[in-house]
Amino acid sequence: MTPTPELSGAEVCVIIPAAGSGTRLGEPVPKAFVDVGGRTILERCVDNIPASLGATVVVVVPADLVERASALLTGVRVVAGGAHRSDSVRAGIAAAGHAGILLVHDAARPLTPARVFTDVVAAIRAGHQAVVPAVPVVDTLKQVEPGPAGLERVTRTVDREELRAVQTPQGFTRDALLRAHADDAGIATDDAGLVETCGIDVHLVPGDPLAMKITTPWDLRIVRDMVGGR
Ligand code: C5P
C-alpha cells in the first residue's frame, strides 16, 4: 500500500459520540456519565487517547448535558448530539474542523488501550481509507428464526472463522467519512458499515479485549472490577 502523501502529516480528530441514554445499563444517568472508580466513563475515554497523536477531541453529549461535560473535560470541544447515533456522529463531524483523519470512538469503551488508537491512525496514514479494530469471534454462532412456544429455532451454524467482532476507534479519511454520512440510510450500527455501503474497502487492525463495550450491568461490573484492580 502506497502511503498517501497528504495524510502523512494530516491532523487527527477523535469524535466521541456519547449522546446515548444507555438505558440497558439501568443507571440513573446516561452511560457516559456513569462513575467508574471515581471518574466518569467519558473522562476515562478522553484520557485514553494518546497525546502522541496530537489529536483534537470532539465529544458529543445529550443537549442538556453539554454544560456538565464541558465542566468535566478540559481541552475538548463539546457539542449536542441527536436522536440516533449517526446524528450524533454527524454533529461531531461538523465540529471537527478540517482534520484529514477522523476517528469515531464510542464513549462506551473506557479501557481502550493507546496501542489501538495508534495502530488505526498508522494504517490510515499508510494509505487505507477506513480502518477498524477487530477481534476474533470465540463463541459458535447460530442463525435463528422464531419458533413455536417462544423458543427460537436454529436455521444454520455460521462459520466463525470468517467473522470478526469490531470495536472502536474506527478511523477514516475525512473524505470517506463525509461520503458515508452523506449517504446515510440510518441502518448501520457503526460508521464502517456506512462506509462499506459507499463501496469503500474497510481494513482491520488487531483490537483488544480491553476495548470492550459497556452495554449491560454485567459489563459495567467487569470494568469497575478491572479499574479497582489496577
Ligand atoms: O447504544 P450504544 O452503546 O450502541 O451506543 C454507542 C455509542 O453511541 C455510545 O457512546 C452512545 O453514547 C453513542 N450514541 C450517541 N447518540 C445517540 C445514541 C448513541 O452519541 N443518539
Determine the residue of 31, 85, 90, 216 to mutate for testing ligand 1's pocket, defined as the one with the most ligand atoms within 8 A of the Cβ atom. Answer: 85
The CA distance from 153 to 164, in Å, is 24
Give the per-residue pLDDT at 41: 97
pTM score, whole prediction? 0.94
Does 18 contact ligand 1 (Cβ within 6 A)? yes
Distance between CA atoms of 207 and 56, rounded to whole angstroms? Answer: 22
Per-residue pLDDT of the chain (230 residues; tens, 9 = 90+): 776 667 888 999 999 999 988 788 989 999 999 999 999 999 999 999 999 999 999 999 999 999 999 999 999 999 999 999 999 999 999 999 999 999 999 999 999 999 999 999 999 999 999 999 999 999 999 999 999 999 999 999 999 999 999 999 999 999 999 999 986 556 678 999 999 999 999 999 999 999 999 999 999 999 999 998 55
- Residue nearest atom 6 in ligand 1 by C-alpha distance: 106
74 within 8 A of 42, measured Cβ to Cβ: no
State residue 60 phi and psi, 5-degree precision.
-115, 120
Q: What's the CA-to-centroid distance between 103 and ligand 1, angstroms?
A: 15
pLDDT computed for residue 185 by the predictor: 59
